[in-house]
Amino acid sequence: MQTRKLGNLEVSAIGLGCMGMSFGYGKIADKNEMISIIRKSFENGVTFFDTAEIYGPFTNEELVGEALEPIRQNVIIATKFGFDIQNFPKLNSRPDNIRKVAEASLKRLRTETIDLFYQHRVDPDVPIEDVAGTVKELIDQGKVKNFGLSEQSANTIRKAHAVQKVTAVQSEYSLWWREPETKIFPVLEELGIGLVPFSPLGRGFLTGKIDETTTFENTDFRSSVPRFSPENIKANKELVLLLEKFAKIKNATPAQIALAWILAQKPWIVPIPGTTKFERIIENISAVNVGFTTDELNEIEISTLKIKLQGHRYSESSEKMIDK
């Protein structure tokens, strides 16, 4: 597996988003099976694992902690703070809560330090300078190694970085959500911050396995996402057809083309696709072997600019939590 740098943090070029193993996508997977998959992913080169206290809540951190305990010194674990668990989806990034979350996450993750600690969403009631200062204290105490932000604006990133160096910013980014390129990319490049795209496969849409007849369980958050309405899925199919075209050319899968395209954008980008199937992990990490010529990247660029994607990426309530 190739490696990449998020700031000064070296990780596998493709990580593993663990959320779906415990939360968000309907039926919860078998814990022992997921432990096995996490460990097998490490055996196949993955060293970067992403979780959060809210996933479950708590159960995903417990899963990741148990799975990685035997190989803890060889992996990078990222987790997140920032929600009021008892009153979800309210936010809470008050300094006392950040400290409390850090202590609890350390126990669940069975570790002495958190490699990358993200603020999950901006709390409008707490200045980002106070958040960054609190994480700086945790870093000085050895409880955290690196500070990260998730779904924050360029202005917030600058303010936070001025107090405590930001190692990575997590954001949705893929061929069906390219907004970070406009304002976020220039700031990350200037400040030497890495980007960690979540949902790099468009929450499964870019794999080509979802169509307008696909139904989602009530416990699958995609059931409330506008982009997954039957009419929007049908309208956005043109993007999948483009991926399928290049998949044939490259003897790859649409998912591999989608991930390889992300990797081709900047050397400081590390996507974290999630799955509960080991064969998908092998498929995803094999995307590092897919390369594009300049002409092919230009063709993808020109083709995608002609596609007008339909539907918002979040429900209205979730959209309000995004820092813009």
Catalytic residues: 55
The identity of residue 314, as a single letter, is Y
- Strands, DSSP E only, in 173-254? 194-198
What is the DSSP secondary-structure string of 1-49? --EEEETTEEEESS-EE-GGGTSSBSSPPPHHHHHHHHHHHHHTT--EE
Name the token pair of 260.
């390889």
Distance CA 117, CA 110 (A): 15
Name the token pair of 80.
């997140």
Name the token pair of 244.
């399928």
Classify the C-alpha dihedral 39-45-49-55 as positive or negative: negative
User: What is the signed CA dihedral for 111, 129, 125, 50, rounded to 10 degrees?
Assistant: -30
